[in-house]
Chain A
Amino acid sequence: MKRFIISAVTSAALLFSSSLSPSAYAQTSNANGSKAGNAARAHSAVKLTLPLKKDSLKFAVMGDTGTGSDKQQQVADKMVQYHGTYPFEFVLMLGDNMYGGESAKDFEVKFAEPYKQLLDKQVKFYAALGNHDQRLQKNYVNFNMNGKEYYRFKKGNVAFYALNSTYMDKTQLKWLEDELAKDTSDWKVAFMHHPPYSSGGKHGSDAQLREVVEPIFVKYGVNVVLTGHDHFYERTKPQKGIYYFVSGAAGKLRSGDLKDGSPLTAKGYDRDLSFMLIEVDDKQMHFQTISRTGETVDSGVIMHQKAKP
């Protein structure tokens, strides 16, 4: 009964128009786009479907990166290439930032070297912890966790909540609820490692996690949840008014792991590694998902509307 009351308040808060194909989307954007946006689309090296507005919030998203492999490097190179046209300010890391050991050398090989060009461009990284990550990553200068396993930061009209989904205890849940209760930001974005919704064959939806976080997300109007753990890309159909993404393939791929015909899937991609670009322009959140080779595998916009009183 309680859940029904909560979801009824917030489920009508968002509209979605992601069914546009990338080309159709670009035409829509062109009609309202800025000069900078038009110039960017003329750039031959990258194909951008984002509007590239002057004062918008621009960031990237990557999950399950820390392998130190050539493929991780190739994704990182592609991110650098896109940064040339789409100067994202920061990157959200969705956990499993370091596989198989965390010596000082591992930090170099699995993070600092692959993303050196972005770090040199002053791009900041904000990390969440995954099941392969050690707790002391919270103290690593380049992960900007400020010594905390879970934390909040705000950019423009967007509040970001980094959560530790490998250990969602009472203290963390209370912190999350207290922070969200007083949060007046237009957009609330949670990011963590384990996906409450996923069509993965290996892992799939984490129903236990969902049971405790979803009521809080719904009650306090979280708009978007970004997760990893399953090594592919998936945008699920909105669940109780919330948009869930799995983006866990920026360093590892589990090819063919997306369940065919999953009723959850709005769009999925498990043929190659991928990362996301997101642009928040006032009441619109645009997203573009790009493969290791530069193919745009998904794009769209989430429209924000105020919840009905």
Chain B
Amino acid sequence: MRHKAICQLLFIALALPITFLAIASSAKAQVTQTTTAKLSPVDKEAVKRFEGRVKDYMKLRNAVKAKLPKLSKDATPQQIESYRENLEAAVRNTRTGAKRGDIFNHDGSDYIRRTLKVNFTGKDRVELRNIVFEGETATVKVRVNYPYPEQTELVEMPPTVLLNLPQLPPEVKYRFVGRNLLLIDEDINLILDYMTNALP
């Protein structure tokens, strides 16, 4: 009995500093690293392939862009308008055969659907759904290789969800329209692909 008590005390004496050190070292770590989920090896491969398809799009779009006049960081409204129109037309022309599922194909969309399901399910996620559904996007016609109307607001992507989705290049963004998840090239407002009923 006495031996057991001594053992317990020893355990506490050893465990406490270790626990404290663990907490202290995690407090030093970057704040943003704490909220991201770990991927299984299978998901990791699927995400890699999804990111590869996005990269393929970027290669194509940047090749088109290279042939057009550059947009300055100090552009006039006329230059911005002209750049956007020209790039949009050129990219659309090179993607005339694009169709739903080219980027969000079965391989990548499985992981994304599961991630969204986890993030959007449960009572505490009501607010999260509200963010998505308060967006006034009902008039948006969701079609691949067609523009997202510039008059329509872009629904804020909940950051806690974004942290768990595959990372995209800065020009391409995830956006919700109702329950659909879109991939949009936001320099030219072009819908690259979409996933229907992405939200549970």
A residues near B, CB below 8 A?
A: 1-2, 5-6, 100-108, 112, 131-132, 134-137, 139-141, 146-147, 149, 165-171, 173-174, 177, 194, 203, 206-209, 211-213, 215-216, 219
Asked if B162 and A169 sit within 8 Å, CB to CB, the answer is yes
In the bound complex, how far is the Cα of B171 from the Cα of A203, in angstroms? 27
On chain A, the residues within 8 Å of B73 by CB distance are 139, 146-147
Q: Given A2-B26, A170-B162, A136 and B157 touching (CB < 8 A)?
A: no
- Return B44 CB to nearest CB of chain A, in Å: 16
Asked if B71 and A208 sit within 8 Å, CB to CB, the answer is no
In the assembled complex, 22 residue pairs joining A and B whose CB atoms fall closer than 8 Å, in A order, are A2-B26, A5-B23, A131-B154, A131-B156, A132-B154, A134-B186, A135-B171, A136-B187, A137-B80, A139-B71, A139-B80, A141-B74, A166-B157, A169-B163, A169-B167, A170-B162, A170-B163, A171-B170, A174-B30, A194-B156, A203-B134, A208-B159
Per DSSP, chain A at the interface is: helix
On chain B, the residues within 8 Å of A149 by CB distance are 170
Closest residue to A193 on the B side, CB-wise? B156
- Return B116 CB to nearest CB of chain A, in Å: 14
Is B40 on the interface with A (CB-CB < 8 A)? no
On chain A, the residues within 8 Å of B32 by CB distance are 170, 173-174, 177, 212, 216
- Return A215 CB to nearest CB of chain B, in Å: 4
Q: Given A165-B156, A166-B157, A209-B159, A134 and B71 touching (CB < 8 A)?
A: no
In the bound complex, how far is the Cα of B171 from the Cα of A213, in angstroms? 22
Is B131 on the interface with A (CB-CB < 8 A)? yes
CB within 8 A of A166: which of B23, B76, B156? B156
Q: Given A2-B27, A146-B73, A134 and B156 touching (CB < 8 A)?
A: no
Kindly list the 4 A-B residue pairs having the minimum CB-CB distance in the complex, ordered from nearest: A107-B77, A147-B73, A104-B77, A168-B159
- Return B184 CB to nearest CB of chain A, in Å: 10
On chain A, the residues within 8 Å of B30 by CB distance are 174, 177
- Return B135 CB to nearest CB of chain A, in Å: 8
| Residue in A149, A167, A203 with the greatest tally of chain B CB atoms within 10 Å | A167
Q: Given A135-B187, A174-B32, A169 and B77 touching (CB < 8 A)?
A: no
In the bound complex, how far is the Cα of B127 from the Cα of A96, in angstroms? 22
- Return B190 CB to nearest CB of chain A, in Å: 12
Is B96 on the interface with A (CB-CB < 8 A)? no
- Return A274 CB to nearest CB of chain B, in Å: 22
Q: Given A135-B186, A171-B167, A101 and B78 touching (CB < 8 A)?
A: no
Asked if B159 and A101 sit within 8 Å, CB to CB, the answer is no
Q: Given A170-B162, A207-B127, A212-B160, A140 and B80 touching (CB < 8 A)?
A: yes
Is B139 on the interface with A (CB-CB < 8 A)? no
- Return B88 CB to nearest CB of chain A, in Å: 11
Chain A proximity mask over B21-44: 1 for CB below 8 Å, otherwise 0: 001001100111011100000000
Is B155 on the interface with A (CB-CB < 8 A)? yes
Beta-carbon contacts under 8 Å, B5-59 to A: 23, 26-27, 30-32, 34-36
Chain A proximity mask over B83-119: 1 for CB below 8 Å, otherwise 0: 1100000000000000000000000000000000000
Asked if A136 and B83 sit within 8 Å, CB to CB, the answer is yes
